[in-house]
Structure 1
Amino acid sequence: MKIILHLVEDKKFLQASINKFSIDPSIRNIFISIGKLKYDKKGSTIIISLPTIVINKFIRFIHFFVRGVVIHGFGNSFFNVQFNKIHNKVKILGIFWGFDLYSINGSKEDFLMPETIKMNRGSHNFSKKFGEKKFIEFINQRIDFVSTIVPSENKILNSHFPKANFKFTWFSYFDLENDVLNGIQNKKLVFSGQNILYGNNSSLWNNHIDGIEEIKSFKFNFDKIICPLSYSGSVEYRQKVIEVFSNEFKNKFRPLTSFLKYSDYLQLLLSCPYVFFNSKRQIGLGNLLFSIYLGSVVILNSNNPLFHFFLSNGIKVFSIEEAQSSESFELDISKNRENLGLLFNEEALKERSLQVIQNLIEE
């Protein structure tokens, strides 16, 4: 049985990763995360948690039993993993999630706006931690395949690594029917309010405070600003966003600081026919897919690769400038749903997953 080894930092994506890579029964997948020793097994899939020091002791020998390695995001816990020790016989796929893509060879602040930069207290620059020269050599010389969350981000990798030999592929974690919609496609849903959903979490990437003037300049009428702040980011940043927005919008601002039951969250989304993300980088794709399917007017910063990705695939989203000049929006919800399905339906993701697996195991 051929083996693919996975390094996973964010366990929220673990089950989705297992589902997508388990479609080929001839493959055994081993998923490893950083942490105290722990072992689990689901069918033929093995899930292990290991300290970094243990991973580094065996990583140079994995070519004796592993055909391919998948690095699921270059996160903080991987800073000390000796990826460059992986033998040349083993094919490597690096999946860039976004936070890593935008800081590997530059500054996080390139994607933050002025007010948010003032609150930036750290960096996610993986290449600096890994050793910039080693990291660049690793990407240029050892990565065989790369995937970004959406193909429109590929040009960012090309600009960072013009000498690299990797090939682009496209792996997606969540399919529309099973992972995003959770059965709502079989229900009749109607918007019940006139609110704006603003951002997807409490991370700096959302440029929350910098979006205040844009929101105030929108031509359309809205009741409240619903702002998810229940995860990611620092407590200090979250409190600052709440303070500034509460002072500016008073009772029109509603922060979400704790997780809601799915049914309650769905009702909240149905009160938000408008969705605004002020991020200059790809973020919150699952939230956006859900909102587009519902029929929300999705407003994105035009610097965000998702803006161009959606438009180039016939999925209508709107720029900040359009929201500043229009009181109403023409939106073909059926067409948006159809085009979302072409990209993210279960069969499309199965085909992409099988191609990724084939790339990793072929001689």
Structure 2
Amino acid sequence: MMKIYGNMCPRILIITLSKLTYLDTIASMIIHIFENIPHHYHNFISFFVNNCGNEFKHRALIQSSNDPLTDNNNINLLGDLGCTAATYSNNSQLLSLMKQEAKESEFIFHSLTNRKLWLELLFSGFLKRSSWVSWGADIYQYVLKKQTLKQVIAKTIHSLACKKMHYVKSLNPGDGKLITQILGRKKVETLPYPLVGVKQPEHLGIEASANQKILLGNSAAKSNNHFELLDSIKHLAADDISVYMPLNYAGTPDYIDEVVEYGQTLFGDKFKPTFEMLSKEEYDQLLASIDVTVFAHDRQQGLYVAYYMMLHGKKLFLKASTSTFTNFKSYGFDVFSLENLASIQYQELKQINYTSQLKNQNTLINNFTEKALAKKWHAFFQKLTHKK
């Protein structure tokens, strides 16, 4: 399949194949490298292009979905944002695409969980102009009491490669400390992503809903600890609640079936799992209807949902042991401990504190909106491209 996007840039020819996508190179380009999570990279590229300075040129290398039609659609959507794009199906294709870029280009890996890719990058010559923004899973994979020999070797390779990188960023200070402790990278700066494409609500809900809608987790990934989530609110099973659980990506069918069976056993028809992928508008509509969100992650995860809850004055429960909980507390957010949820009864859960709602909303606006974080990302891009 070949398609020329002349209305975007007359010099750029995008040829989408099952193996490679070739793009003409442009000097001083910032190349964003993403794994196959379209709802993430669509939002972030939109933010980079529209809010972080028009002097930068952006390109995205996105992991293939293995469906040519879907890949082409994602490339078109990024093109509409003003960002050229290419797809890769494996490490070899990614490195080949990187070699085609101008020597002045800088690469940003937005999460990097692939251990074999770390090894290939170590001997590639790209590390000195590559940066890594850790999303959590790529560092927490080493937080284990006992590690296999393969895991020890992988961590050693990761450590060597990490130390050679241009910049390393974390989404909160706690994760940055982990990168320093585990991988030995001395300088790790905090650079969060913003809440993208969400407007401040016209008013905060000051009256409790008759039916309390509770959201558990943010995906079907086992890191959500779904059974722990369900157990944390099982004492509310007889109360007027609806239990929503997104199970639409990142999980295996057998695991999802087990979670659904347990949820239905505890809550019957009050349990409302979501299996289909939602558009951003549909997802935002779901979040707007939620009264309480509960996360049982052992690491930083689900920040979009967490930010949305703060902006809309909703209650958020997190494990007190996580870097997310510590980071939110350091900003002054009123967040609640998952460990205490089992002792909170229905009437107490329904109570609304308008002062707390307003504080959370203002703190979010001042620190995690696109406007609040645009200057920080702009400064990062300036460092990468050596622009004064």
Q: Into which bin does the TM-score normalised by the smaller protein fall?
A: 0.7 to 0.9
Matches within 5 A, 1:198-237: 198-217=216-235, 222-237=240-255
Matched, 1:161 2:183: yes
Number of aligned residue pairs: give it: 339
Identify the residue that residue 3 of structure 1 maps to in structure 2.
29
| CA spacing shift, 1:128–1:320, aligned 2, 3 Å | closer
Identify the residue that residue 144 of structure 1 maps to in structure 2.
166
Does the 8 Å contact 2:315/2:335 carry over to 1?
yes
User: Which of 195, 202, 215 is equivalent to 1:186?
Assistant: 202
Matches within 5 A, 1:196-275: 196-217=214-235, 222-260=240-278, 268-269=286-287, 271-275=289-293
Identify the residue that residue 44 of structure 2 maps to in structure 1.
17
Does the 8 Å contact 1:60/1:87 carry over to 2?
no
Distance in 2 (alpha carbons) for counterparts of 1:267 and 1:67: 39
| TM-score of the superposed pair, with normalisation by structure 1 | 0.79
| CA spacing shift, 1:216–1:294, aligned 2, 3 Å | same
Identify the residue that residue 293 of structure 1 maps to in structure 2.
311
Q: How far 1:165 moved relative to its partner?
A: 4.0
Q: How far 1:12 moved relative to its partner?
A: 2.4
Identify the residue that residue 337 of structure 1 maps to in structure 2.
361
Matches within 5 A, 1:36-47: 41=79, 45-47=83-85
| CA spacing shift, 1:91–1:261, aligned 2, 3 Å | closer
Secondary structure of the 1:185 match is coil
Identify the residue that residue 353 of structure 1 maps to in structure 2.
377
Q: How far 1:7 moved relative to its partner?
A: 1.6
Q: How far 1:220 moved relative to its partner?
A: 11
Does the 8 Å contact 2:237/2:266 carry over to 1?
no
Distance in 2 (alpha carbons) for counterparts of 1:200 and 1:72: 19
Distance in 2 (alpha carbons) for counterparts of 1:250 and 1:236: 20
Matched, 1:303 2:329: no
Secondary structure of the 1:341 match is helix
Segment drifting more, 94-103 vs 31-40: 31-40
Does the 8 Å contact 1:21/1:357 carry over to 2?
no
Identify the residue that residue 3 of structure 2 maps to in structure 1.
none
| CA spacing shift, 1:129–1:157, aligned 2, 3 Å | closer
Q: How far 1:350 moved relative to its partner?
A: 0.8
User: Which of 283, 291, 294 is equivalent to 1:276?
Assistant: 294
- RMSD between superposed Cα atoms in Å: 3.5
Distance in 1 (alpha carbons) for counterparts of 2:83 and 2:56: 9
Q: How far 1:75 moved relative to its partner?
A: 3.7
| CA spacing shift, 1:85–1:186, aligned 2, 3 Å | farther
Matched, 1:30 2:46: no
Distance in 2 (alpha carbons) for counterparts of 1:149 and 1:334: 24
Q: How far 1:18 moved relative to its partner?
A: 2.4
Identify the residue that residue 114 of structure 1 maps to in structure 2.
none
Does the 8 Å contact 1:144/1:165 carry over to 2?
no
Identify the residue that residue 103 of structure 2 maps to in structure 1.
65
Deviations 1:37-85 (A, max 9, x none): 97764576321124533443464685x5334210111144973783224
Distance in 1 (alpha carbons) for counterparts of 2:48 and 2:278: 30
| TM-score of the superposed pair, with normalisation by structure 2 | 0.75
| CA spacing shift, 1:209–1:236, aligned 2, 3 Å | same
Letter in 1 for 2:232: E
- Paired-residue identity, %: 20
Q: How far 1:184 moved relative to its partner?
A: 5.7
Segment drifting more, 259-268 vs 325-334: 259-268
Matched, 1:56 2:95: yes
Does the 8 Å contact 1:92/1:360 carry over to 2?
no
Does the 8 Å contact 1:278/1:300 carry over to 2?
yes
| CA spacing shift, 1:81–1:50, aligned 2, 3 Å | farther
| CA spacing shift, 1:167–1:199, aligned 2, 3 Å | closer
Letter in 1 for 2:30: I
Identify the residue that residue 129 of structure 2 maps to in structure 1.
91
Q: How far 1:281 moved relative to its partner?
A: 1.2
Q: How far 1:166 moved relative to its partner?
A: 3.7
Distance in 2 (alpha carbons) for counterparts of 1:86 and 1:265: 40
Distance in 2 (alpha carbons) for counterparts of 1:149 and 1:360: 18
Secondary structure of the 2:45 match is helix
Distance in 2 (alpha carbons) for counterparts of 1:266 and 1:56: 36
Does the 8 Å contact 1:191/1:270 carry over to 2?
no
| CA spacing shift, 1:317–1:88, aligned 2, 3 Å | same
Deviations 1:273-331 (A, max 9, x none): 22211111111111121122222221111122211111111111111243344442563
Q: How far 1:212 moved relative to its partner?
A: 3.6
Distance in 2 (alpha carbons) for counterparts of 1:225 and 1:89: 45
Identify the residue that residue 133 of structure 1 maps to in structure 2.
156
Q: How far 1:270 moved relative to its partner?
A: 5.0
Distance in 1 (alpha carbons) for counterparts of 2:81 and 2:294: 41
Structure 2 unaligned residues grouped into runs of 5+: 1-26
